Amino acid sequence: MSSHQLDFNLFEFAIVPKRSRWEWCLRDRFGNLMMRGREKTRAAARYRSQCALFLLLQATCPRLRPTADEGA
């Protein structure tokens, strides 16, 4: 195991029906609202929430850089 300690980000998404629309939200591990939206169909809400989740994971992912002894 390397000496680098990785801090993994955890997110959860929820899809809830509201009136004639579906509301989705993304929250971090502490319950803080990160993103939210409203779509006409459940499938669209699921797609948008998964896209938002991917963007958050991509933006917060720790970048691993090879060390000098790994032969970068």
Q: CA 7 to CA 38: how far, in whole Å?
A: 31
pLDDT of residue 11: 87
Q: What percent of the chain has pLDDT over 70?
A: 75
Q: For residues 45-56, give the mean pLDDT.
A: 93
pLDDT, tens digit, for every residue of 24-44?
999 988 999 999 999 999 999
- Are 13 and 24 contacting, i.e. CB atoms less than 8 angstroms apart? yes
Q: pTM for the whole thing? A: 0.70
Sheet with 33-39, strands from edge to edge, namely 11-18, 21-28, 33-39
Q: What angle do CA 16, 61, 24 make, to 5 degrees?
A: 10
